Structure 1
Amino acid sequence: MEGEAAYGFIVNVDAQGSGLLSDTEKPEMRRRLYDVTGTAFEQAGIRPPRLYQEDRGDGILSVLAPDVPPARVVGEWVEQLHQNLRESNRDLRKPLRLRVGLHIGRVTADAYGRSGRAVDLACRLCDCGTAKAILKAADGAPLVVIASDRVHEDFVLPGGRWVDPGHYRRHDVELKEGRTTAWFMVPGRSEPPEPSEASDPSEATAPSAEPAPDSAAGPDGTPGPTGTNGATGTSGTKASTPPRPPAATDTGGRFVQNIHQHGDGEVIAAERIETLNSNRRGGGR
């Protein structure tokens, strides 16, 4: 009934690298996406009305009725999808590669589709940087499966036809809702490859802005003059590139120039100096 939450198994499928496709290439990608996933559901004996689907542009959200055995999805459907992808990708210059997020939980239906935290988690797992990085590292593999911790515990660990728990590897992933545990499997491989660091630009760590080894940074974080001994090189001559003017601050009526001087050299200021704070290190005596 609309507006009431019901228990369901959630399958979210996303196409890897779809953003790199042109407008003329996307319709063919979508046709093949629906073909390989829909054929796999048919082969696993999962059909409407026990199968609900929503179009997601470069993916498909599927919610299965409570009477569909989840082990059938984790085992038979995943294996059929893998084989369908291998067949569909044969001799293609741009093979279709998919990420599949699996979760189970409460789903609410309304006139616009399906919602709930369980749906959110299945989508987040499918779209996480670790999933993208593992599939990117799995050269030649068309598919990576990401199972939630609950799906892994209840339906992967017991094993069964086409389900080998030894092929899954655990990773703790950062999602918008926080850190959670997920289990990754690449069909056809005994274990998934390790994800390379910062493979997803959205999860990359920005490089730290540290000064060069021969630079001395001031207390306010501005780079100091270049050269081994500050404003002068090791031979005592001035560096070929003049030092940048030290940082100045306006304290509300008084113009303060902070000078961080290393050795002998000229003091350069861009404005008139009313107060001069000098911190001299090393140099002549």
Structure 2
Amino acid sequence: MEGEAAYGFIVNVDAQGSGLLTDTEKPEMRRRLYDVTGTAFERAGIRPPRLYQEDRGDGILGVLAPDVPPVRVVGEWIEHLHQNLRETNQHLRKPLRLRVGLHIGRVTADAHGRSGRAVDLACRLADCAVTKAVLRAADGAPLVVAASDRVHEDFILPGGRWVDPGHYRRHDVDLKEGRTTAWFMVPGRSEPPEPEPRAEREQAPDTAAAGPAGPLPPHPPRPPQPQAEKAAPAAADDAAAPAPAADDAAAGDRVVQNIHQHGTGRIVVGGTIDTINFSDGGGR
């Protein structure tokens, strides 16, 4: 019933690198997208009305009815999707590469589609930086699967037909809602490749040509700071007072003492002072 939340298994599919396609190329990409996913659902025995699908432009959101065994998705559907992609990509100059996000939870239906936090999480998993980076690193692979921690614990770890939990690897990923754990698998490989460094902290661009992020630029050197003049403290004036040169005292004890006053204190001079010239350095 509309407006009521129901429990469902959520499958979100996104096309990698779709932003690089031209307007004339995108309709053909979408045709292949619906063909490979739809045929895989059909072969796994998952059909409407037990399967709801919603168009997302360069992807498809699917929600399965509660009576559909999730192992059919994580096992048979993923395997059929992988083989369909291999077949359709054989002679393509730009192969179709897909990212799949899997989660399970409460889904609310209305006249416009499906919504809920569980739907959001499945979409975020398919679109996060680590998922994109894993597929970029998997040269030649057409598919990567990102399963939520709950899907992994309940439906992947127990195993099943075409389900090998040893092929999944864990990564903590940063999503808009916060950090969460996801499990990644590349069909046809014993384990997924490691994403490039910092993928978990960055939102990498959705382009097949994007490479690993480089190191952070160094901080610019700090400009030299001007040295401010420090006024000598009054207690140090005695030590700072200039002493007469030895030859001045010897020349009949006649001394002309030039004093530049920068503070208060005593003036100590050996011998007789005939003339004292005072300068306070600033007219003070």
Taking structure 2 as the reference length, what is the TM-score of the superposition? 0.74
Amino acid at match of 2:14: D
Q: Distance in 2 between matches of 1:209 and 1:153?
A: 42
Contact 1:101 1:145 in 2 (8 A): yes
Q: Which SS does the other structure have where 1:260 is aligned?
A: coil
Q: Give the corresponding residue for 1:104.
A: 104
Pairs within 5 Å for 1:158-177: 158-177=158-177
1:202-223 deviations in Å (ceiling 9; x for gaps): 3569834513xxx5x1xxxxx3
Larger radius of gyration: 2
Q: Give the corresponding residue for 2:216.
A: 207
Structure 1 residue 197: Cα displacement: 2.0
Amino acid at match of 2:12: N
Q: Which SS does the other structure have where 2:191 is aligned?
A: coil
Give yes or no for the alignment of 1:22 onto 2:4: no
Q: Give the corresponding residue for 2:55.
A: 55
Q: Distance in 1 between matches of 2:214 and 2:111?
A: 41
Q: Give the corresponding residue for 1:125.
A: 125
Contact 2:131 2:144 in 1 (8 A): yes
Amino acid at match of 1:44: A
Structure 1 residue 260: Cα displacement: 2.3
Distance 1:260 1:143, change over 3 A: same
Distance 1:278 1:97, change over 3 A: farther
Distance 1:87 1:207, change over 3 A: same
Structure 1 residue 91: Cα displacement: 1.8
Amino acid at match of 1:207: L
Pairs within 5 Å for 1:236-247: none
Q: Distance in 2 between matches of 1:199 and 1:140?
A: 20
Q: Which SS does the other structure have where 1:74 is aligned?
A: helix
Q: Give the corresponding residue for 1:84.
A: 84
Q: Distance in 1 between matches of 2:199 and 2:179?
A: 18
- Structure ranking higher on relative contact order (CA contacts 8 Å, 6+ apart): 2
Q: Distance in 2 between matches of 1:114 and 1:89?
A: 31
Percent identity at matched positions? 81
Amino acid at match of 1:135: L
1:224-270 deviations in Å (ceiling 9; x for gaps): 4xxxxxxxxxxxxxxxxxxxxxxxxxxxxxxxxxx526xxxxxxxxx
Give yes or no for the alignment of 1:36 onto 2:2: no
Q: Give the corresponding residue for 1:64.
A: 64
Contact 1:260 1:278 in 2 (8 A): no
Contact 1:198 1:205 in 2 (8 A): no
Structure 1 residue 92: Cα displacement: 1.0
Q: Distance in 1 between matches of 2:219 and 2:52?
A: 53
1:138-158 deviations in Å (ceiling 9; x for gaps): 000000000000000000000
Distance 1:208 1:260, change over 3 A: farther
Give yes or no for the alignment of 1:113 onto 2:122: no
Q: Distance in 2 between matches of 1:21 and 1:13?
A: 17
Q: Distance in 1 between matches of 2:198 and 2:24?
A: 30
What is the alpha-carbon root mean square deviation over aligned residues?
Answer: 1.8
Q: Give the corresponding residue for 2:266.
A: none
Q: Distance in 1 between matches of 2:203 and 2:164?
A: 32
Q: Give the corresponding residue for 1:246.
A: none
Q: Distance in 2 between matches of 1:38 and 1:9?
A: 16
Contact 1:14 1:99 in 2 (8 A): yes
Q: Which SS does the other structure have where 1:190 is aligned?
A: coil
Q: Give the corresponding residue for 2:226.
A: 260
Taking structure 1 as the reference length, what is the TM-score of the superposition? 0.74
Structure 2's unaligned 5+ residue stretches are 205-212, 231-284
Q: Distance in 2 between matches of 1:278 and 1:173?
A: 54
Give yes or no for the alignment of 1:187 onto 2:187: yes
Contact 2:128 2:203 in 1 (8 A): no
Q: Give the corresponding residue for 2:257.
A: none
Q: Distance in 1 between matches of 2:62 and 2:229?
A: 68
Q: Distance in 1 between matches of 2:138 and 2:226?
A: 52
Q: Distance in 2 between matches of 1:79 and 1:53?
A: 19
Q: Distance in 1 between matches of 2:203 and 2:102?
A: 22
Q: Distance in 1 between matches of 2:37 and 2:120?
A: 20
Q: Distance in 1 between matches of 2:178 and 2:106?
A: 20
